[in-house]
Amino acid sequence: MLRVRLSLLLGGALLAALVGFAALAGTLFSQIQDRELSQLLERELVRVQSLLDQQAVGEQFLDTPGQSMTLQFVTRGGQVAIPSGDPRPLPLEATPTVVQVGESTLMVTSAPWRIGGATTLGTIRLGLDIGDAMAARRTLRVSLLTSGALITLAAVLAGLLVLGRTLRPLVSLAEQADALDPSDPHLTAVTRRDDEVGRVQEALQRALDAIRERQQAERDALAEVAHELAAPLSVVAGQLDALAARDDDPQVHAARDAARELLYTSQDLLTLARGELDRALDLEATDLAEVAGRVVNEYPGVELEVEGAAWVLASPQRLSQALRNLVRNALQAASAPERVHVQVRGDGARVLVSVSDDGPGLDEQAQRRVFERYFTRRRAVGGSGIGLTVVRSIVETYGGAVGVRSRPGQGATFIVVLPSLEAEMEAS
C-alpha cells in the first residue's frame, strides 16, 4: 500500500537522521571527555613537577586522589622507584594517550623526573582510570540509539495514521474508478479539494465526461442507422412473408428468413442505442410457455417442450425479444434446426427456460465473455455480438439470471431463470 511505503520511507529517513545525530553526538561527547581528561592529567603532571623543583616537604603530590589516578617515579632502567610496591611501570607516553593495562582502561602521560632542575633520574608517569568515562560513553550511545528507535517507531505509526487520513480521498477515488459501470461511467461521490488528489479527481471526471459524450454520440449515430434500416427491412420482411405464404420456393423462404434476421438485429441495435434496456418496463402476467411457442413457430424444425405452469411478471414483448435472440443464437451454431431444443419448465418459485444446440460448444474463456457486447460465439457462424447482451439485460431487469453450460465440441445450453408470478405475488 502507498501509505505503508511512504511511512516506511519516512521512518527510514528519520532513523538514518537519528543514527547520524547519535554518531555525531557520541563523537563530540568523546572528544570533550578526552580533552577534559587530558587537561586534568597535564595539570596534575605540572603540579608534581613543580613540587619536585621546590622540594616542598609534606606536600601531597596528587591534588585529586578521588579520580583513580596513579603516580609513578620510574628510573632510567625502567624500575618503579616510587611507590616501591608497583610491579610494572605505566606505559611511557609523551602526551595523554588511552591505553589498556590489564583489565583497566587508562589515560597515561609522562614527563622527565629531574632533581634540582638539572639531574634527570628517570620519568614521572601519571595514569588516570577512565573506565567510568568509557561506561558513560556507552550509556550515551545506547540511550541515543534506543530513543532514536522509539522515535522512529512512533513516527512510523503517526505517519501511517496521518497518511491514511490524507490518502483516504485517493483510496475512495480508486475504489470508485474500479467500480465504474462501463455503460454509464460517473463518480458516485465528488468532493472538491484544492490539492493533488483534487486535480486527479478533476482529470478523471473530465475523462469520464468525455467518455459519456462519446458514448452518447455513438448511441445517437447507432439509433439513426438502426432506424433507417428498420423501416425498409420491415417492408421487405412483410412482402417476403406474403410471398412465402403463396410460394413454396426454398429461395423465397431463405430470403424471408434472412430479412427477418436483419429486422431483428436492427431492433436489437435500436434497443441498445436508445438505452431502453435501462428503463423501467411495463409489467403484466405473462405465460412464458405461450411466448416461447410463438417464437418457436417462427423457426420451423425447432423443438419445444413445456413442463408445468410458467407464468411470470414481465413484458411479453421483451421476453419474446430475449427468447428469439436465444433461439437465433442456437440456430447459428446448430447443425440443423431440428437440433435446437427449447424447454420451458415451472419450478415453484422459479421458471426456467433452456435453449440447447449441438454446435461446436464454448471453452471456458468464451463462456465468461459470451454475454459481452460484440462478442460472438464463433465468427464462422456469423452474428452481431449484441443478441446475448440484450438477453442478459432483459432477464436481469426482471430479477432473473442467464447462464451457459457447454463443453468444446458438445454443444451449448443457455439457461434463463426468472422468478415465477406466484413468488412475485408472495414477495409483494
pLDDT of residue 224: 67
Q: What is the pLDDT of residues 262-290, one digit of tens each?
A: 777 776 766 666 665 555 456 789 999 99
| Residue 236 CA to its chain's centroid (Å) | 56
pTM surpassing 0.85? no
Of 323, 330, 342, 343, nearest to 395 by C-alpha is 323
| Distances 357 to 6, 341, 363, 414, 425 between C-alpha atoms, Å | 57, 7, 15, 9, 34
Per-residue H/E/C for 200-226 = HHHHHHHHHHHHHHHHHHHHHHHHHHH
pLDDT of residue 57: 45
Of 66, 60, 64, nearest to 39 by C-alpha is 64
pLDDT of residue 315: 85
pLDDT of residue 227: 59
What are residue 343's DSSP bridge partners? 305, 354
Q: Which helix (H) or strand (E) holds 261?
A: helix 250-274
Kindly report the number of other CB atoms within 10 A of residue 177's CB atom. Answer: 15
Question: Which parts of the chain have pLDDT scores under 70?
Answer: 1-3, 54-67, 85-86, 116-118, 181-184, 188-193, 219, 222-231, 257, 261, 267, 269-282, 374, 376-385, 428
pLDDT of residue 70: 84
pLDDT of residue 377: 56
Q: Which domains does the chain have, with CATH numbers?
A: 2-151 (no CATH), 192-274 (1.10.287), 280-427 (3.30.565.10)
